[in-house]
Amino acid sequence: MADTDPLPMIGVAQLYRRDVPDLLAGPDGCDLLQVFWCPFDLHGATGYGMSIDLRWRRSSEVVEVLAAPPQPAVVGFEGYVPEPCVLHPEQVATYPFAGLLPEDLRARIDAWEEALEEEAEETVGDNAPEAPTYQHDLSIPPGWRVGGFASWHVTDPYPMDCRICTAPMDLLLTIDSSEWDGGSGSWKPIEEQDLPTYRFATPTKVTVGRWGELNVFACPVPSHPHSWSIQ
């Protein structure tokens, strides 16, 4: 059998547990997570999807850090090529996707949102700013994030269980096409409140699917393979 050439891979993220306390533990004491993907959908498992590679390492064994990561000469989609940047992690409180909450709690949230909307209209009139909502303003922030809860705004929620041991998997990492949008004003950085969304909400230049987000899940057993969902 002839040898096949390795897939061209692009470095997407490099996260140290010392910088990101919510980063799940890696196998065998690894504390450095490196995320790579192929810039061609053709090389995905189905022949038309993403090909992702997550690698765990020990930071103590990294002796030489490249100043400029190598880039493939040709890519299939520019949205797979991230703009080099440094992350500044910030911890925030998050809550589960609304569709996963108990029915009685969802009904209480719906009633609360309707009351806020009516109050805003009565106070300010037809030009009142939109009232905050659980889904957009309080539960799951947009943008790149580690841990927390996954959003299921494109598909209905479905189980993400380990294909080796069938244990429920936890959200490891989310890679988003945008840091905020028109419906998530509460998550917009204070220093960027006056900046227009279409020009400043995409600093990484990454596009997942049709301007969606990639949710990567990890098994409680760190050595088991990861799974992912695109929303």
pLDDT in tens, 9-18: 889 999 999 9
The reply to whether 1 falls in a domain is: no
State which residues form the domain around 46: 10-94+140-230
Mark whether 72 and 21 lie in a shared domain: yes
The last residue of one of the domains, among 112, 133, 154, is 133
**Nearest-CA neighbor of 203 among 143, 120, 127?**
143
Answer for the pair 139, 95: CB distance below 8 angstroms, yes or no.
Answer: yes
Extract the residue ranges of the chain whose pLDDT is less than 70.
1-6, 43-48, 124-128
Mark whether 206 and 110 lie in a shared domain: no
Count of domains forming the chain = 2
Mark whether 67 and 165 lie in a shared domain: yes
CA distance linking residue 53 with residue 38, whole number of Å = 8
The reply to whether 204 falls in a domain is: yes
Q: What is the DSSP letter of 106?
A: H
Answer for the pair 203, 195: CB distance below 8 angstroms, yes or no.
Answer: no
**Residue 95: what pLDDT?**
95
Mark whether 107 and 205 lie in a shared domain: no
Q: Model's pTM, two decimal places?
A: 0.87
Helix (H) or strand (E) holding 55: strand 52-57
CA distance linking residue 121 with residue 114, whole number of Å = 11
Mark whether 122 and 203 lie in a shared domain: no
The reply to whether 2 falls in a domain is: no
Interval 119-143: pLDDT, tens: 877 776 666 677 889 988 999 999 9
